[in-house]
Structure 1
Amino acid sequence: MSKSNKELAVDVAIEYIRAHQKQIIVSSNNVFKETSMIDLESVNNIIKSVYETLDELDQSTD
């Protein structure tokens, strides 16, 4: 059984979160810098955008 557009949108958001987790970076002068994770609003926007895009694609192929 194939996944719904909502399930696919959430899957994309999960992978985006995994790819943008906190990371510690050491610069050439040994300064440590920590990058931050994405915020909840960004996750919501990703889900909404992917869902709407998939829905538009489905409607255009019908």
Structure 2
Amino acid sequence: MDRFLVPAAASIVVGLLLGAAAIFGVTLMVQQDTKPPVQAGDPASAVLNRVEYGDRS
């Protein structure tokens, strides 16, 4: 009976450890799937939608 009990117990332990590692890894990936916070800038220095050609002299 011990011939089957020890490998079965080892298989259960390995399966539980692999399952826990998979759940932990997926949880970390899901949590990191967010946008970084946007930092507010100075509106006077924003150049969006304005063409700046530089000095032409």
TM-score by length of structure 1 reads 0.39
Structure whose residues are more often strand by fraction: 1
Tell me which structure has the larger Cα radius of gyration.
2
Higher relative contact order (CA 8 A, sep 6+): 1
- Tell me the TM-score normalized by structure 2: 0.42
